[in-house]
Amino acid sequence: MTGTPRRAWPGKPPEFTDYPTLDRDQATAAARRLMALRGEGAPVSDNRLLSIERFCRMEARLLDDEAYPAWLDLLADDLYYWMPVRHNRYRADAAGEIDINGMAFFDDRKRDIVQRIARIASAKVWGEDPPTRHVYIIGNVEAFETDIPGEYEVQSTFIQTRSRGEHDETTLLGRRKDILRTAGAGYQIVGRLILVSQSTLLSKNLSAFF
């Protein structure tokens, strides 16, 4: 049996400039909203939670399979996707571990996500050819009502293992704080805050999505 090459996009990737973005003020407001997510809203119904859990598992499978066109459909046009650097500070330090205007591993809008996917699909990225094998494990999913009808706060934890070549293996783990919006029979991701446990990442690259 002959295998088929893995491709991050079937055919020519779309032009990233065709996709929407956020200006700096809009991104800052989105970051502040994500930082305020603490699971303090009313818990959603059991049926709603079940549908959100199914969404999270389906999204993890799409990322494992590099099914990026389908995954892109899960991202809202006003997406803010943020993975800030976490600083090691004493408990009494009022500055906190995250500076909302500080460094970030990812500070992306939907346009940036498309550009990253197109780069992987170009087959010119040495760090992804041969491609990395991913496994995402999503757990501890909780969902809460927000003050905007049809939008939900979703808290979850993740383990992401990455393997490439014979000796290049990385495991990252942490917490995601998402804002999901109902879209037809499913959901779209409006905001995602990714909090990895490590403050210093030893991975050779960080081309994966979370």
Q: Is residue 2 part of a domain?
A: no
Nearest to 210 by CA among 27, 51, 53, 63: 63
Q: Determine the structural domain holding residue 37 and report its residue range.
A: 22-196
What DSSP element (H or E) covers 50? helix 46-64
Q: What is the pLDDT of residue 11?
A: 64
Q: What is the pLDDT of residue 156?
A: 98
Q: Is residue 9 part of a domain?
A: no
Residue 128 burial class via C-beta count within 10 angstroms: exposed 0-12, middle 13-18, buried 19 and up: buried
Q: Is residue 150 part of a domain?
A: yes
Q: Is residue 11 part of a domain?
A: no
How many domains in the chain?
1
Amino acid at 133: R
Q: What is the pLDDT of residue 204?
A: 65
Q: Is residue 201 part of a domain?
A: no
Q: Is residue 1 part of a domain?
A: no
Q: Is residue 6 part of a domain?
A: no
Q: Is residue 96 part of a domain?
A: yes
**Alpha-carbon span 64 to 162, nearest angstrom:** 10
Contact 111, 2 (CB under 8 A): no
Global confidence as pTM: 0.88
CATH number of the CATH domain containing 42: 3.10.450.50
Contact 176, 82 (CB under 8 A): no
pLDDT tens over the chain, length 210 residues:
444 445 556 666 666 677 888 999 999 999 999 999 999 999 999 999 999 999 999 999 999 998 988 999 999 999 999 999 887 777 887 777 788 888 888 999 999 999 888 887 776 666 666 777 889 999 999 999 999 999 999 999 999 987 776 667 788 899 999 999 999 989 999 999 999 987 677 766 677 898
Nearest to 205 by CA among 127, 107, 129, 108: 127
